[in-house]
Amino acid sequence: MARILLLNPSRWGRGITPIWIASHAAVLKAHGHEVSLFDTTFFLDWAQNENAFNTANLQYKPSPYESFLTFDETPVREALQAKLNEFDPHIVFWSAISTHIHGEGEYAAIQFGHQLMSDVSCSAVKVCGGLQPTAAPADTAIRFPIVDYFIGGESDLVLADFVDALEAKKPLTAIPGLISRNNGDIFQSPRQPIISDLDIIGAYDYSLFDEQIFHRPYNGAVVKAIDYELSRGCPFTCGYCVETVIQRYYGFTERSSRGALRDLKRYLRHKSAKRIFEEIYTLHNDYGITLFRCQDTNFLTINRSTLLELADILDEKNLPIQLYIETRPEGVNEKTIPLLKRLRVDGVGMGIELATQEFREEELNRFSDQTAIENAFRLLHEAGIKRTAYNIIGIPHQNEASILDTIVFNRKLNPDNVTVAFFSPYLGTEQQQRGAEQNYFLDYEFDLDSQLRTMTHHSVLSSEILAFYKRHFVRLVRDGIEHLELLKESDGLC
């Protein structure tokens, strides 16, 4: 039996349960290994308080969330060293792919974990997965030199095979998906198969998380929630999205003229309805979870018969739970609304990104009809389901007029919640490559966080202008843009 320490180097200071931790813990424990977690979320000298930042700019409704939290005043590196001394792991692992993809710090986890592990004494084997080694294994190995091995693609099963082989002293280079160092060179094993049946992972294990991680602000209240996945994969190939990195890794590169991935059936995968309910039931009973924040990239592309079967079970069992989902606007129609209601969907997040349909199609390879967006927001409102509009600012070639058009379009949609993210050049995406070529960004950017900061070198939209619109985007949606110049003047931009 090996001891594996999972490291969650989150800097947001609020409740997030990275899905990869729950899935990898389940597989490792099934292989007979001992697993522990070091979670940096609530260390005072590490957390950046994303909740306070996005409450101040009106993206979140005010809530008593912080009264539920206790921050650890121990220096985070000192606490990590103590954990390493106490647990004495054979392997330390951080950063992996799940449906969280890049959101909420998952993309930058490899960097933050590397920073922490570089400052402690640890003889354990260090392993990382995630989007960056999937996109650029050789470059990633150079950037993060203390990591001994990397895993490209989905690492849930590969890590367990690696641990088994390491413990049995078997050759490691034969493990599919493994990226290793050999006398200064980088060796990449053949690609592992995509996980076609998510049920083989087993019931995801959330027992490693501390109790306070389950508290979450939600529409002005504080609920007990987890991040959860029913499925993996997205049928679309938007040029800014890291989903395309995963698609390309597994050889799914053909797409239609409308940005849809070909050979969808092999790429879109989901758990069985029975497994989903078993997990929801257990998490509700054992941890009091009432909100399941479904990170599925496009919820309504999950097999409809599976969703109907799950709805039947939920109707029968009548659990007091709710789902928050994300999906494309064109999937919301008169046929899917009753299904969402039966599935206890309380909120739906949809990507608007920016208002101009032509820009979305030509620059982002995102084909989402303006009328379909408006209809989706109307239908959800009529059904009493909360709507969140997701927006992006600072995309290469975007100008200030585009941001204002997007604000006006959001005002027309009148969503219950509005979020705005800084465009981030995620490694391996078309927009990242284009942005670097045109000097909007460096070839590689450290410290990416689409909520907290922009890394732009944009000649038209400066970082100061983008920070202004991040602060005031929601306010301008709610109040209108008539007093924009006065607002700029008060912020010292005029």
**Mean pLDDT, the chain cut into blocks of 10 residues (494 residues total):** 97 95 98 98 96 96 97 98 98 92 79 98 98 96 97 98 97 94 92 97 98 97 98 95 95 93 93 98 98 96 97 97 97 97 98 93 92 97 98 96 98 98 95 95 95 91 96 98 95 86
Residue 253: the pLDDT is 94
* CATH number, domain containing residue 447: 3.80.30.20
Same structural domain, 275 and 145: no
193 lies in some domain: no
Residue 173: the pLDDT is 86
Same structural domain, 93 and 232: no
Domain hosting residue 48, numbered range: 3-188
* CATH number, domain containing residue 37: 3.40.50.2300
Digit-coded pLDDT (tens) for 340-371: 999 999 999 999 999 999 999 999 999 988 99
How many domains does one find in the chain?
Answer: 2
166, 188, 210 - which closes a domain: 188
Q: 268, 301 in Cβ contact below 8 A?
A: yes
416 lies in some domain: yes
Closest CA to 340 of 289, 288, 376, 287: 376
Residues 292 and 314: their CA atoms lie apart, in Å, by: 14
Residue 106: the pLDDT is 84
188, 216, 233 - which closes a domain: 188
Same structural domain, 17 and 158: yes
Residue 459: the pLDDT is 81
Residue 263: the pLDDT is 87
Residue 215: the pLDDT is 98
CB atoms within 10 A of CB 30: 14
Same structural domain, 35 and 120: yes
Closest CA to 421 of 94, 105, 35: 105
Residue 103: the pLDDT is 63
Same structural domain, 276 and 384: yes
E strand spans, 41-199: 91-94, 125-128, 149-151, 178-182, 185-188
Residue 182: the pLDDT is 87
Residues 374 and 23: their CA atoms lie apart, in Å, by: 36
